[in-house]
Amino acid sequence: MIVDSHFHLGSCRVFGRTVTRDQVVHAMDGNGIEKAIVQPFPGAPDAVQVHNEIAALGDSIGSRVLGLASVNPHMDHAKYQAEIRRCVDDLGFVGVKLHTLGHAVHPVSDDALVVFETAAALGIVVMVHTGPGMPFADPTHLLERARQFPDTPIVLAHAGASASPGSAIAVAKQCDNIYLEPSWCKATEVRAMINALGPDRVLFGTDTPENVRVELAKYEEIRLTEVEAAWVFGGTATAVFGLRSGVDAELPRGGA
Q: What is the pLDDT of residues 195-236, one digit of tens each?
A: 999 999 999 999 999 999 999 999 999 999 999 999 999 999
Per the CB < 8 A criterion, the answer to whether 136 and 104 are in contact is: yes
Per-residue pLDDT at 251: 53
In a domain, 251, yes or no: no
Which alpha helices (H) appear in the chain, and where do they start and end?
A: 21-30, 47-60, 77-89, 110-122, 142-148, 165-174, 187-197, 212-221, 226-230, 236-241
pLDDT digits 0-9 by tens, 55-98? 999 999 998 999 999 999 999 999 999 999 999 999 999 999 99
Distance CA 117, CA 140 (A): 19
- Does 170 map to a domain? yes
Task: Determine the 3-state secondary structure of 230 from DSSP.
Answer: helix
Amino acid at 29: D
pTM (two decimals): 0.95
| 111 vs 237: CA distance, rounded Å | 27
Please tell me the total count of domains within the chain.
1
What are the tens digits of pLDDT across the range 29-67?
Answer: 999 999 999 999 999 999 999 999 999 999 999 989 999
What CATH number is attached to the domain comprising 222? 3.20.20.140
Tell me if 250 is assigned to some domain. no
Note whether residue 248 is domain-resident: no
> 12 in a domain, yes or no?
yes
The boundaries of the domain holding residue 161 are 3-241
Confidence of residue 150 (pLDDT cuts 50, 70, 90): very high
Residue 254 placed within a domain: no
Calpha distance 107→104 (Å, rounded)? 10
**In contact, 5 and 205? CB cutoff 8 Å:** yes
